[in-house]
Amino acid sequence: MTTAVAAEPTARRLHPETVRWLGGAAAAMALYAALRIVNVLVLIVYARRDEKTPSWRELLLAWDAKWYEGIAAHGYDTAIAFGDKGTPEMSNLAFFPLYPGLSAAVEFVLPVSTGTAMLLVAWGCGLIAAATLYALGSYLRDRMTGILLAALWAVVPHGIVLSMGYSEPLFTALAAGSLLATLRKNWLTAGVLCLLAGLTRPTGAAVIAAVGLAALVAVVRNPREWRPWAAGVLAPLGLLGYMAWVGARLGRADGYFYVQNETWNMGFDGGAYTLSTFSDMLMDTRINVELAEVSLVLLLAVALFVTAIGERLPWQLLVYAGVIVVIALAGDWFYWAKARMLIPAFPLLLPIVYGIRRSHNRTVPYVVVGTLALFSVMVSVFLTLTWHRSF
């Protein structure tokens, strides 16, 4: 009798609710993986139609992925290089260290190349992000909300980036985890994940704003509770720490901003560049497909943010999404990259998820996800095989 009890499967000793939650997380991850695999397979089919097209691996390791690959393999620049005309050249110091660092660690442990390690990290983080989005959605509403949130995030317009050697999957996983921990008042977890998000992308500022404000509110309500204090201190350390390191490396306090402004021509003008580019596009008789698509995504982002306010999402999520939208609109850089900037703004997808859940038509989830998946595939093929600029 004792032996029989000892041999009882572990799953039977788990709480039924835990088993149900794990099943939902697995479903979200499987659906995310299936949608991303279909996207890449269609891309491969189109790429093989032209013998001059690079291999699928080269396509997934193009543009910014090359910068990350260089950092993972050789480290950061020690100084800013200048061209023949005395103008500063682009520097890899603009890219944050956590993603290339993890890629270098995977390459050290596994017998793979730097590029392969980058793809493994990106794909693994995408699955983790899907599970985290499921956890967030199920916390806000229910199990199906979490699954749909992960599915919609998998088919965002510039979703091909989620399958490339880019940092968006890692950042989204950290941001979603930090925000979920904040909503649950798991302050130390929120602070640590926010710190790591700040080491991944400059949009870590959006996570810092949400976590920092939430910690401040908690401190005001209960000054004796030390955990919100700790979260507030930890939250900005990643972002500020990397910026300080770049400044020390270049020997100037504004080193990071110098790299962004002078070598990459990326700054903020309050949205003047975005508005003028949008206006020029409307007045141009020649249709620029990519600029039109990005403009549509930006308009939808603003509309979804306003709708999210009406849906009364937790204010922490609104702060996070709002800061990302403002950064995308107010920046005077690469108009075609603004849609990619919005990929981590997953709270903007919640009004769509809620609308699907309110529908009594069972075909609506399949139609919405399927339509967006088709659009995402079309954009992915265009961006990688036709559009000859960064995403």
pLDDT tens-digit map of 289-308: 889 999 999 999 999 999 99
Q: Per the domain annotation, does 271 fall within a domain?
A: yes
Q: Which residues pair with 158 in a beta bridge?
A: none
Res. 360: pLDDT tops 90: no
Q: Per the domain annotation, does 172 fall within a domain?
A: no
Ordered alpha helix ranges (H), the chain: 2-6, 10-13, 16-47, 56-60, 64-74, 98-109, 114-140, 143-154, 168-183, 187-198, 204-221, 226-234, 237-250, 255-258, 272-283, 289-310, 315-330, 338-341, 350-358, 364-385
Residue 118 near residue 61, CB atoms below 8 Å: yes
pLDDT tens, position by position, 102-135: 999 999 999 999 999 999 999 999 999 999 999 9
Q: Per the domain annotation, does 156 fall within a domain?
A: no
- Could you tell me the CA-to-CA distances from 208 to 68, 167, 201, 202, 363 in Å, in that order? 24, 18, 12, 11, 39
Report the number of distinct structural domains present in the chain: 1
Res. 9: pLDDT tops 80: no
Q: Per the domain annotation, does 330 fall within a domain?
A: yes
pLDDT at 1: 44
Round to whole Å and give the CA distance between 179 and 343: 16
Six-digit token string for 375: 């659009």
Q: Per the domain annotation, does 247 fall within a domain?
A: no
Among all chains, which residue has been given the structure tokens 């107010």?
A: 330
Round to whole Å and give the CA distance between 391 and 380: 10
Res. 245: pLDDT tops 70: yes
Phi/psi at 160 (nearest 5 deg)? Answer: -55, -30
Q: What DSSP string runs through 274-331?
A: HHHHHHHHHH-SS--HHHHHHHHHHHHHHHHHHHHHHTT--HHHHHHHHHHHHHHHHB
Q: Residue 349 is part of which domain span?
A: 266-358
Mean pLDDT of 232-250: 98
- Grouping H, G, I as helix, E, B as strand and the rest as coil, residue 35 is helix
pLDDT at 74: 96
Res. 11: pLDDT tops 80: no
pLDDT tens, position by position, 57-92: 999 999 999 999 999 999 999 999 998 888 999 999
Six-digit token string for 165: 């050697």
Q: Per the domain annotation, does 353 fall within a domain?
A: yes
Quote the percentage of the chain above a pLDDT of 90. 86
Q: Per the domain annotation, does 235 fall within a domain?
A: no
Res. 260: pLDDT tops 60: yes
Mean pLDDT of 12-39: 91
Round to whole Å and give the CA distance between 249 and 255: 8
Q: Per the domain annotation, does 273 fall within a domain?
A: yes
Round to whole Å and give the CA distance between 353 and 134: 12
Q: What DSSP string runs through 142-161?
A: -HHHHHHHHHHHHT-TTGGG
Residue among 258, 276, 275, 279 at smallest CA distance from 267 = 258
Round to whole Å and give the CA distance between 339 and 158: 7
